[in-house]
Amino acid sequence: MTQMDLQSETALCAEDVFEGPEKKLEVYFTRSGPTDGLRQYGSDAWGEMLAAASCTIVSKRSNVHFDAYLLSESSLFVFPYRVVLKTCGTTTLLLVVHQLLRMGMDIGAELELLQYGHLRYKFPEQQVYPHASFDQEHAYLVKMFGEVSHCSLGPPDCHWVMLSVERRRTSPRSLISPPASPKAGDDILEIAMEGLAQRVCALFSKSCTAGATMGGDGSSPEDRALAIQITRESGLKALLPGVDVDDWAFDPCGYSMNGLRAGFYYTVHVTPEEAFSYASFETNDPAYRDPAYVAAIVRAFAPKLAVVSLTTRSISCELPAYALDGFERAGIDFHRLGSASSVCCASFTAASVEISALAISTIFPKCAALEKCSKLAPVS
């Protein structure tokens, strides 16, 4: 590397990078309040809470089971007694915990289970308190709650970290305990991908789209039409049959999507800058743990690295031993989190620089069958 190359690389790291891997917070509350629970709070209340994390709401979509908010940095899902929040970049997600707990207390609900985790940061030096390191994140929750389960899974260069808090009551009858069989929607599948193919990066970049009007905030009819176009051309629309999609194209590049179907949510976020490209897919729909779905989602983005994790309200991991064509499995790991949950994680590296996306077509029969399902388990 020449001195000029070194200076360019240093300048990139210092000024022009964006942390794609999201911080993710999932909180369960006791069902001791009104039927609608936390859903009685509107956009203003959630927006006030999100200010602590340095992000804002850009769009909202709802069904009878939950509310889905697209954020300036990722997504928020609000069920009556469960909240899932993920934020990217240098957001300060853990700073929302105090306000979130107060919102629960105001409706008569108390914390039951809190889980926090993320893929290792690509640019950890860019993070700020309380996210400057995993140790700092852990210490922040320990100061707030006392006992906090923690773990790191997978190889050092692509590890997944988790923190978990359980709150027990004084009455033995109300002790938190893992469900014998978690109901559909309790568990979360995440696929984090880095090093996306060049053609994929271009697809999710407004600046690379012919005729696109630059400078908008994503809310104009033209920008919303572009987001719909990206969802279709990327193959995501075909992979999410029957899903109510709320998508957003950012300026000059970047893409986010929330999807709703009965009690299941789906979310995709893409950071398409080639030097640090990243994409994630997440859902609580157990059907998408099928190896064919995981393979199709990974192929849609053609990454160099894919990390698949499952966070479950069970003491045993149920993540299949995936084998992805064109990838080598770098490791698979499992860790129990306290007495009520566990996490498992598998990481894969591409055997070639770019893999083919044509195999997405192999999933279409499964998608069609899923779309015809007349009954989906409600989740609350």
Catalytic residues: 19, 22, 74, 88, 256, 269
**Planar angle of CA 16, 22, 23, nearest 5 degrees:** 120
Q: Is residue 224 a contact partner of residue 70, using CB atoms and an 8 Å limit? A: no
Give residues with Cβ within 8 angstroms of 155, minimum separation 6. Answer: 330, 331, 347
Beta strands in 228-351 (DSSP E): 244-249, 255-261, 264-271, 278-283, 305-312, 327-337, 341-350
- Name the β-bridge partners of 307: 192, 347
- Residue corresponding to tokens 């950890």: 124
CA distance 337 to 141: 15
Residue 182 and residue 28: Cα distance in Å, rounded? 14
Q: How far apart are CA 247 and CA 223, in angstroms?
A: 10
C-alpha–C-alpha distance, residues 212 and 224, integer Å? 11
Give the torsion sign (CA, 218, 223, 226, 232). Answer: positive
What span, in angstroms and rounded, lies between the C-alpha atoms of 264 and 286? 9
